[in-house]
Amino acid sequence: MNKKILFITDSLSNGGAERQLALLVKYIPDGWDKQVWSLSDGPYKSVIENTNVRLDVCKRSWQFDITPAFNLWRIMKEWSPDIVHAMGWMSAMAAVPVCRAMQIPLVNASIRGGRLPPRRASVDSLSLKLSDGVIANSQAGLSAHGISPDKGMVIYNGFDPVRFKLCNKDADHSTDCFTVIMVGRMTSQKDFMSFIQAALEMSKRDIPAHFIMMGDGDMRPELMRAGEDLVNKGYLSFPEPVPEVIPFLNCANVGVLMTNPSYAAEGISNAIMEYMACGLPVICNNLGGNHEIVIDNETGFSIPSCDVQQLVEKLIYLYQNPIISKKMGQAGYNRILSTFSCEKMVENTVSYYNSIMNLHKSKKNGSVGMNTFQL
């Protein structure tokens, strides 16, 4: 008889957690029946629907609407999953009462960053405490939340093998304009202003470069105003947001990701994975889980946060040393294949499910369980 996994999530928006959820739904092997429940829809609604997996979206009509929780409880009671995998703290909290009542193990995978969320740390901590197991996509995230080895496991994000077919890691732009790209949500968590300032400094030095800012968010209008002069000079562009950024990465020489340390630190960034899959050297700030994916001076450079001067210096170095830049890009591509493959992510997740279910069964039977989880 197949095992049943119920994925629950706060959102199906265009984000890293949602992308990883879609990969799990798509690639978890035969032997598992899957369903998905979400508190909201978004671009990944159609992605999940295309896998022919049942998807229930139950939106809140107002901030404190508890109707979705009743909907989730009904689904859990009717379907009786063997394990519940939550991708957000709200969905995890909604599942706790029925998981406890029906003795269903709850895996909480809401840790996506490399630091405690400043505005809801206590709520996040409670949802993690009430869960049977915790998955984080970086060791930085697990450590920041104080999750012990007997409860938590680091499982790195995986890169969709289908998207590898879009990547042109061997693109040669040595005779083209030096192109620098940053991809991310245009919110206070990302430091796009340092990117704009670096573009301004490069333009003052008359370096033939073009900077691309990809993404959407509430700060996009403000950032476009800040970069207006550079846009008018053709030195900076803001392409319209698109579902797939890889065609833009194939035209770039360097991928940059700067995070605002006042608001966030990365876990394992999907943008960095995309850069590396396309054979780009990466420049990022040295916070959170960035050092777990970017090896300094080998696959790119990690620099202090908000340090525009260092960002400019590293960009100029890569511009002046195209052979080294290419070598770094190749090393990054190889690292994605070896450490951040979708196959490894799915394999480790399924192994963790089995560990959690076996431990849960041992506790129910009154026997001694494992001390730590091992993959």
Sheet with 83-86: list strands edge to edge: 54-57, 32-38, 3-9, 83-86, 106-111, 133-136, 152-154
The band of 299, judged by pLDDT with boundaries at 50, 70 and 90, is very high
Q: Report the pLDDT value the prediction gives residue 170, as an integer from 0 to 100.
A: 81
Asked whether residue 375 is domain-assigned, the answer is no
Instruction: Give the Cα separation of 23 and 48 in Å (integer).
Output: 9
What is the distance, to the nearest Å, from the Cα of residue 329 to the centroid of all Cα atoms in its chain?
20
Asked whether residue 287 is domain-assigned, the answer is yes
Q: Report the pLDDT value the prediction gives residue 367, as an integer from 0 to 100.
A: 56
168 plus 58 within the same structural domain: no
Contacts of 94 (CB under 8 A, 6+ apart): 8, 68, 69, 72
114 plus 227 within the same structural domain: no
| Coil, helix or strand at residue 349 | helix
| Coil, helix or strand at residue 3 | strand
124 plus 217 within the same structural domain: no
150 plus 169 within the same structural domain: no
Asked whether residue 117 is domain-assigned, the answer is yes
Instruction: Give the Cα separation of 271 and 325 in Å (integer).
Output: 18
Range of the domain at 214: 162-339
CATH number, domain containing residue 309: 3.40.50.2000
| Coil, helix or strand at residue 214 | strand
- Amino acid in the structure at residue 78: E
Q: Report the pLDDT value the prediction gives residue 371, as an integer from 0 to 100.
A: 42
Number of domains in the chain: 2
Q: Report the pLDDT value the prediction gives residue 64, as an integer from 0 to 100.
A: 84
176 plus 106 within the same structural domain: no
Look at residue 374 and tell me whether its pLDDT is greater than 70.
no
Q: Report the pLDDT value the prediction gives residue 119, as an integer from 0 to 100.
A: 60
Nearest to 19 by CA among 163, 193, 177: 163
Instruction: Give 54-85 pLDDT, tens digit per residue.
Output: 999 999 998 888 999 999 999 999 999 999 99
Look at residue 117 and tell me whether its pLDDT is greater than 90.
no
Asked whether the whole model's pTM tops 0.95, one would answer no
80 plus 143 within the same structural domain: yes
User: Cα-atom radius of gyration of the chain, to the nearest Å?
Assistant: 22
Asked whether residue 373 is domain-assigned, the answer is no
Instruction: Taking residues 98-108, report their average pLDDT.
Output: 96
62 plus 8 within the same structural domain: yes
